Amino acid sequence: MLDLAASSPSLADGRTLFIDGVWHDAQETYERSDPAGLEAATGVFAAAGAEHVRAAYDAAAGAQPGWAATPAPQRADVLRRAADLLEFRVDAATHRLTADMGKARRDARAEVLRSAAILRYVSGDLLQPSGETYPSADPSTMLLTVEEPLGVVCAITPWNFPFAIPTWKLAPAIGFGNAVVWKPAEAASGSAVLLAEVLAAAGVPDGVLNLVTGRGRALSTALTGDPRLSALTFTGSNGVGVALRQAVADRNVKVQLELGGKNPAIVLADADLPYAAAQVVRGAMLSTGQRCTATSRVYVERSVAAEFRALVRETIGQLVVGDPYDEATDVGPLASVQQRDAVAEYLRLAGEEGVEVVTGSLAVGDGCFVAPTVLTGVRSDSALMLEEIFGPVLVLVEVDSYDAAIAAANDTQFGLSSALFTTDLARAMHFVRATRSGIVHVNRETAGVEPHVPFGGVKASSSMQREQGKAGRAFFTTTKTVYLRTP
């Protein structure tokens, strides 16, 4: 097994730009603090400038044709080795992820292993049939299609899943023959460095993967403005996603956006209430609520609302909130002071609007910890109901019927994920058709994805270009139709 530690760039001196197979520093740097203890620095990172982005595009454009010409089985071998190496470094990667954004250690480890599973899935997909043949009206002509890579892809990734989300973009982008310029979120820079190390050690050629750490706003023009850009994939906030799409709208750039969510769950009177409460709490509170698929609104039939509320309160009371490095911890801190302040603003609004606190607190301390909090009595037009909070805050709403719940659940600009808890099969099948979301769960929490199925939403949650599975293959390739006439 390769000793990756011997070739690791030092996070102490800011050599975190990986361009054309070489680690570089920059004149400007930034530090990251551990969300579990803000006095502890977790690394010094290079703040890339426009010149570094240009160099990354130069490297990607130069390396991509040769990589595209590499047989698919060889590209598959690289991704499979990357999965092995990532599993070999699972403890270091888990620690790095927790240090970056405070994710509880058990969740962080599961995410790293999920990244390895994604790499393995894509490596297998590269060996599946490629292209199709069609009958032709001309007996001397053979009609077929071939898949080809797009060219140079820009991947901009968030901090909340610093291994899984980059992997489900980078693995198919690289696997299907593209070269990548990758800009991770500042808070995820340490995890990005480790993942880039793994991919390089697995055999990704120089220039095929280029990592530029730094401040997103300062780099956005350079990232989107390069004429060699063929495709842009982004996960993050709606505002940034819309701005990125507009920046490339006048060019033939393929765009994939995964944006926000305000995900509802419906609990009917015939549901297994203890199970539903446990699933809702998992969906709302794990990862400290920092998931685009997190459960944030629950519509429960009035006849069982009091019982369900008590079960939710009891279940949350059993969560271990605290040190994310402790294996027993369920809920760690928020990822940063900025994220804590954003959630605190919603809690302040809850106090102003006089909502009822079922459990938790509207008060936020000096650290990045926020208590898992459940609210009720929230107005339908409140920002608490309409906007993505991205923290451990859940709103319970009593409804008179299933029809009322469906109407309320669909009354949002978002449409990423939704859930229904019931034992009525007819209701479950109706919900699958009636809910306005790209991901539907029946008797499951709203969060959670598997690597071989499409992921994405409708309305303001997505650009309608799905990720993962066959959808990932479709996005990162283009189809060429061939008319082959034989003599």
Of 8 and 139, the structure prediction assigns the larger pLDDT to: 139
**Alpha carbon distance, N-terminus to C-terminus of the chain:** 53
Statement: residue 292 has pLDDT above 70: yes
Reading the block at residue 479, the tokens are: 């189809």
- Domains of the chain, each with CATH number or no CATH: 4-259+463-485 (3.40.605.10), 263-450 (3.40.309.10)
Best CA proximity match to 280, nearest among 263, 295, 302: 295
**Is the four-CA dihedral 119, 125, 130, 135 of positive or negative sign?**
negative
Please state the rounded mean pLDDT for residues 94-117: 97
What's the mean pLDDT in 461-482?
94
Give the least confident one: 11-15, 248-252, 472-476: 11-15
Residues with catalytic function: 258, 292
- How far lies 42's CA from each of 20, 47, 100, 363, in Å? 26, 16, 7, 27
pTM of the shown model: 0.95
Q: What is the pLDDT of residues 206-248, one digit of tens each?
A: 999 999 999 888 899 999 999 999 999 999 999 999 999 999 9
Q: What is the pLDDT of residues 328-346, one digit of tens each?
A: 999 999 999 999 999 999 9
Residue 391: pLDDT over 70: yes
CA max distance for the chain: 81
pLDDT, mean of residues 170-175: 98
pLDDT at 289: 97
* Burial (Cβ within 10 Å: 0-12, 13-18, ≥19) of residue 133: exposed
Closest CA to 207 of 21, 78, 65: 21
Judged by phi (left if over 0) then psi (alpha if -120 to 50, else beta), residue 412 lies in beta
Label residue 463 by pLDDT band (50, 70, 90): confident
Which residues does 264 contact at the CB level (< 8 Å), separation at least 6?
295, 296, 297, 298, 299, 408, 409, 412, 418, 419, 446
pLDDT at 7 over 80: no
Please state, in angstroms and rounded to a whole number, the distance separating the CA atoms of residues 377 and 384. Answer: 11
Residue 367 near residue 346 (C-beta atoms within 8 A)? no
In this prediction, residue 366 carries a pLDDT of 79
Distance of alpha carbon 450 from alpha carbon 118, whole angstroms = 9
Residue 10: what pLDDT?
A: 56
Lowest mean pLDDT among 155-164, 165-174, 225-234, 458-467: 458-467
